[in-house]
Amino acid sequence: MSEKETIVVIGAGVIGLSTALRLQSHLKNTQQILLIARDFPNTTSLNYASPWAGAHYRPIPGSSPQATREGSQAKATYAHFKALSAQDPSSGVQALEAIEHLENPPAAYLDEKIVRECYAHLDGFRLLGSEECPEGVKWGARYVSFVVNPPVYCAWLLRAFVLAGGVTREYTVIDPAEAFWLAEGRKVRTVVNCSGMGFGDARSFIIRGQTCLVRNPCSQTVTRQNTDGSWSFCVPRPLSGGTIIGGTKQPRDYDPNPSLETREKVLANAAKWFPFTPESGGKFDVIRDIVGRRPAREGGMRIEAEKVGEGRVVVHAYGAGGRGYELSWGVAGDVLGLMVGDGLIGERASL
């Protein structure tokens, strides 16, 4: 009888969980997956970004190779969220109307072809006429998006992985090479690195984000770009999880403390711009201020297979920045494609 093989996935953020679950359906009958992470959905840490997210699905138009790659990954995620929200609302994913209002739109938003390629897959997508936009808004759109309750969704992904036979281990890995030795006697030839920051990758950096979680309900997810280039958003969390109001994007800022000044600014903007119910009266019932560190990378995510020794491969998938949820299932599909191409996993989904 041949020795059983273990595929090790490092990282239990939304990228790691989605990838582990996607790979699980393509395992050969001689394979299993071990998910190793420092943090799991039942824990909270500034450096474990996924539970702190908004999170909602919002495309970002562009024509660079990175934008094209992320556009493809986002479309795959949209299709997955659409199916999942219909099949299992307990996942914490819900379809919801999205609105975008931009006061100073970047050039890509003014290119009809780029916008069409970026937004055409969205149900109900249409550009807003000037008469439909608030004063000062030069570009607007409306479409069906998906909002996510991150703590619920991450726990749902982990539960689905374990119920399908996945094994987990809480462990702090300091180098992907270490993971080849952590399967307790089972052969490991593939490690999938969904670590977020990438173990010393010089191109990786954190983006500090501060948001505010409030109890006030909201019927839409709205994103607004201000004249100065800053962004504001509100994201209702499904299953009565409150509403996230944000937020900031501060590259390489390691301050772990929430700023009261930032809270006051984002709430004041929310009172002006977002469709909270009339009884809110411009006031917010604050649950907590949130500070998290998004694991970003110059040039976008690293997604590639690296041979690290005789018969050993590390498949890298890290550095999503603030787009982990939007890109998650596309990234999982890309990792699967790399592994199928190298014969590291089954080509067809297991029954």
What percent of the chain has a predicted confidence (pLDDT) above 90?
Answer: 89
Q: What is the pTM of this model?
A: 0.95
Please tell me whether 252 is known to bind a ligand: no
pLDDT in tens, 180-198: 999 987 899 999 999 999 9
Domains of the chain, CATH where assigned: 5-342 (3.40.50.720)
| Mean per-residue pLDDT, 263-280 | 89
301-332: pLDDT as tens digits: 999 999 998 889 999 999 999 999 999 999 99
Residue 2: per-residue pLDDT:
54
Residue 1 confidence class, pLDDT cut points 50, 70, 90: very low
In 88-174, alpha helices (H)? 112-119, 150-163
| In contact, 306 and 290? CB cutoff 8 Å | no
Looking at residue 137, its pLDDT comes to: 96
Residue 322: cis peptide before it, omega within 30 degrees of 0: no
Average pLDDT score, the chain? 94
Say if residue 319 carries a ligand binding annotation: no
Span 65-73, mean pLDDT?
Answer: 96
Question: Distance between CA 42 and CA 128 in Å, rounded?
Answer: 41
14 marked as part of a ligand binding site = no
pLDDT tens per residue, range 109-134: 999 999 999 999 999 999 999 999 99
DSSP string, 248-313: --EET----SPPHHHHHHHHHHHHHHS-B-GGGTT---EEEEEEEEEEEETTS-EEEEEEEETTEE
The predicted structure's pLDDT at residue 351: 54
